[in-house]
Amino acid sequence: MRFSVAMLALASICSVGAAAADAADGKLRLAQSFTVTNCMMVCNAQAATCQASCVVPGTPPTGAATATGNANVSTACQLNCSTQQVACQTVCARTSPSP
């Protein structure tokens, strides 16, 4: 959790610095194109499908009133899905037009 917060803070600082540099140049650069947005959405949809497949049924509790247990999430599977999503989005971002 601390790592993701640190990465978010670092990304925010980098984007603010890049925006300030662009403003100093007097150039306006668009963040994304329609093609890049669609590519990112495909990555997100694939990641959602992948993450949904990571949920496995729980084991039935012993001596409880319910017949089934809570679903469990495979951490390794979730991490794999997230890694694939980031790799996919990196490819999308690299195809983005940039000066």
* 38 vs 71 pLDDT, higher one: 38
State residue 78's pLDDT score: 93
Of the candidates 32, 25, 41, the one whose C-alpha atom is nearest the C-alpha of residue 96 is 32
The string of pLDDT tens digits covering residues 86-95 is: 999 999 988 8
Is 90 inside a domain boundary? yes
State residue 46's pLDDT score: 97
The two most distant CA atoms of the chain are separated, in Å, by 70
Is 78 inside a domain boundary? yes
d(CA 49, CA 46): 5
Is 44 inside a domain boundary? yes
**CA angle 3-80-2, nearest 5°?**
10
**CA angle 45-93-4, nearest 5°?**
70
* 52 vs 60 pLDDT, higher one: 52
Is 23 inside a domain boundary? no
pLDDT of 64 > 60? The answer is yes
